[in-house]
Amino acid sequence: MMVMSKTREISGCGLAGVISRKKILIPGEVIIRSISHIKERGNGLGSGYAGYGIYPQFPDEYAFHIMYDHEFAKRETEEFIKKRFHVIHYEEIPTRKTSRITESPLLWRYFLRPIEPPDTPNYNEEDYVMKAVMDINSHIDGAYVFSSGKNMGAFKGVGEPDDIGEFYRIEEYQAYLWTAHTRFPTNTPGWWGGAHPFTLLDWAVVHNGEISSYGTNRRYLEMFGYKCTLRTDTEVVAYLIDLLVRRHRLPLRIAAYALASPFWKDIDRMPEKQKKLFTAIRMVYGAALLNGPFAILVSWNGGLMGLNDRIKLRPLVVATKDDRVYMASEESSIREVCPDPDRVWAPKAGDPVIALFEDFERGDQFREYQV
C-alpha cells in the first residue's frame, strides 16, 4: 500500500462524531467542518470518515470498500469475492482530484450478500463475512478491505481532513451518524490503510492516543481468528469490540469496562457486589485491557460510544442538542457546528458515554444507556 513520508510534528490526533438519535439525516458538510476545525491536531498523514445510513438503496447488503495497489490485486480479490458472495452491485468509489491529493490507491466498493456454504453446521453470517475480510487483508497482496458493514461506509486516506473530505466528496452524502478523525501517526507509518477509522462489519473506531498493550491484545485476538495486518495499534480496538460484544455477547458497558478496567486498588475499595463484577472482568478479560493513553469513539448501526482511558490522558468532550449527541476531542469542534448546545461535559476516566438510536432494539448488550 502507498506509504507517505513527511516530517512529523509534535501534535495529537483529533476525533469528532455526531449522531441523530431520531435518525434525521445529517449532511456530510457538518462532520467535515467539525473535524477540520481541529485539523492542527494532525499533520496530514491520515484522516477519515465513517457514515451510517449512507446506502439506503442497499440496506441489507454488506458494503465492502476496498483499496488496491494494482489491477492484479483487484482481479484476484474479485475472483475471491465471486466465490463467496452474490455481487449485487459494484463500482469505483466516487472521488475527485484535489490540489493536495493527486495520487491514491484504486478505490472500489461492492455490495454483497454471502453465499451460505452447504452443510455447514452452526453457520454464522457475520463470522463468515469477518473471515472473508481477514482472508483478503492477510492473503491478497496489495488489497485491503477498509469497510465491510451494512448501510455504512468508511472513507480514509493520507491527507488533511478537509482534503480527504473533498477527495471522497463527503459533502454529497447524508448520514444519521458520522465519525471523523485527523491523524498524527505516533509510531506507525502514514499510509492509506493506516488512517482512521478502523472497521469490521458495522463497527468503526477512531482513536486519539497510543495503545501500548498492542502486542498482548493482538496475541489474544489471534486466538479467535482475527488477523492484525494494518501496522497500527488502533486496529485491535475495533476487533476487541467485535469479539466482546458481538461474539461473547457482553453488554456494551461491560465491554467498555474490560477495555478500560479500574485499577486493582480502586476495585478493592468498591462495594462487594461491584468488587466481584470488576474482579471477574479483569480476571477473564485481562488480555483485552487497553494500556496507554486513549480517547476512542466506537460507532455501529445501533449508536455511538465515547470512552477514555482509566486515567483520562486524552481529552474527550460530549454535548447534546435536541436529538443530537456530539463527541469530540475539543469543545470548539462541537461549537463549530452546534454553537448553542443544551449541555456540555467531559466524561470521567474509563466511564463510557453511550448514545443509542431511539428505534434501536435494546438487547442485553445495550441495556444501559447514559446520554
Q: Active-site positions?
A: 13
CA distance 218 to 102: 34
Supply 5's cell numbers.
513520508
Nine cell digits for residue 166: 473533498
User: Distance between CA atoms of 300 and 267, rounded to whole angstroms?
Assistant: 30
What residues pair up with 325 in beta bridges, in sequence order?
19, 320
Cα 109 to Cα 148: distance, rounded to the nearest angstrom: 10
> CA separation (Å) from 298 to 74, 177, 192, 256, 306?
30, 11, 20, 10, 6
- Buried residues in 228-263 as b, exposed as e (16+ CB within 10 A): bebebbbbbbbbbbbbbbbebebbbbbbbbbbbbbe
> Quick check: 288 and 240 in contact, CB under 8 A?
yes
3-state secondary structure of 320: strand
H/E element holding 325? strand 324-328
Cα pseudo-dihedral 29, 33, 39, 43, rounded to 10: 20
